[in-house]
Chain A
Amino acid sequence: MSGPIQNQGGKDKDIVIKVRQLVNAFGNQVLHDHLDLDVYRGEVLGVVGGSGTGKSVLMRSIIGLNEITSGSIEVFGHNTAHLNEAQWRELEQRWGVLFQEGALFSSQTVAENIQVPLREYLDMPQELMNEIASMKISMVGLPDLAATKQPSELSGGMKKRAGLARALALDPEIVFLDEPTAGLDPISANMFDTLVKDLQKSLNLTVFMVTHDLDTLRATTDRIAVLVDHKIVVGTMEELRKNPHPWIQEYFSGPRGRAAA
């Protein structure tokens, strides 16, 4: 889409992530071309786009795993490019990331995985860490027995839940989810959607979610950001349905899009 980026609106909300003029290019291939995006406090933002449009790269740029070509990224009002190491550590305590396959540390049990951020940042007695780990485990809907299991003993859905529990270990303000429902059966996916929505409400989280799942988008998101033509188009599902861009039309009004409506 070559027109102006129709997003953000004039809403007077607390912006927690502000991406401005972001450019990501690998060799000759430009993924993001002067892309702008705002994420508001307490919202669930879904990020969609075709394969290879750079959804994950956008997420990795924000959390600092991908060096951006140019542009600026502000999180909680701090430009991430200008932070020193201590400030990064400060910032990293305020967000949690769920990677696609959970990215659990394979040598540790689920409970130990959840305690890793606690151990890293806080001086906490083991007993309290155990209590917090088991609270987080029930929070994400895992059975209590899962606490002492190794990641290799868990199913895909359980790994994602455990990964989410670890992401929530420090009670962050922002949670990044990379395709949280990919590879889950529809029932588990529904349960995960409900879980994200519930936790978002009870912990007042801001959720940045990369996903392909139209049902998840409909069930959980407040706004949706669509990556097309190296830019981003943001709106609610209703607004996006009216967007004339062919890819957006195809996506939201194709057979799957209609089924999710």
Chain B
Amino acid sequence: MAAKEQEGALTGYRILDLTDSKGAYCTKLLADMGADVIKIEPPCGDQGRRIPPFLNGEPHPDKSFYFLYRNANKRGVTLNMESDEGKDILRKLAKSADVLVENFGPGCMDSLGLGYDVLVGINPKLIIASITEFGPDGPWRDYRGSNIVDFALSGVMITSGYTGKAPTLLPGTPAYDAASEIADIEILAAIYCRDALGKGQKIEVSVHEAARTGLYPWSVPIYSYALNPDGPPPAIESRLGAQIFPVYPCKDGFVRVIAITPRNWQALVRVLGSPEVLMLPEWENFIYRVGNAEDLYAIMLEFTTKFTQIELWEAGFREGVPIAPIYDIPAFTNSADATARKFFVEVEHPVAGKGQYPGPPYKWTETPPTVQRPAPCLGEHNEEIYCGELGLTQDILMALRYAGVL
């Protein structure tokens, strides 16, 4: 058993990954579940290889943490899709692939002569997912997105950050990852019913729409429910994170408290030793606490700072008020929960060396997702795939490399 590679839920499926940062997480999740993801990069390499920070602060195509993390488990080839030979190779790869994911922009694959109709003519079972910033058509079709711009447009940024200061970006690439997740749901649904349908299909994902659904689908409904023709206009949405889910300092950092119901609040007061100043009945009202959060913060300090994060967390559980420590990255990495679940897994990369990587966020009994190989070096699997599978000779491979096709 140990000698055999662990079978994943998607083992046996082949995914052609033509994406950059917008789709890296999409194909990563599929690769973690066992799919054979072939990352196809231009000969100069995916721009993700240039995203800092780098291992030991040294800019290098195989040392970007962003690239290393989001492309683990994938194989990598280089291909210049603008050359005729490159197009020919892509058509050959498409023959045996189950899914192709791309994010070149509206109409780009068509203008390369590699549009849906062409590829589906080669392989009718192919599922093609296109991730665009704003959609394949429409008034903003050619608008430009970016990590911060897409997050701003998603509707959740206005709620993010400290009251009175600028809305604040969520770390990572949240809008792209939301689009990636929505794309995965559609890709997997299309795989699931492909045999019954007898054909693949085309999937369109825009970061703009997916970021809303993926990050904050409640925004519009909450507003719509607050609209009342006979009443005052709804309050404008702003940054109330610290008022609704307050943060308090303690001995060794900060904790966050989720006290919505009166029972939660009473439990919190007990956790803090039932100080009289917190027993005033008006504090039991959640809306009152939100409205007077600054005063409350000033009062709370005296009591919360007597305890450690863990003391408050565990006392909250015993008494019935959800409290959580605000951990920094090392504290979560070394936490008892992450350790017990073996969340971090060791991955060895030929250039970047050994590292502890966050693993897949779930444990499966039959087909556990794992990280079985590091991110590919640029063109690492050219020979394995182009010679081993497509049957090109070493001489041709060399000639194609010389011609700038690979």
Are chains A and B native binding partners rather than an unrelated pairing? no
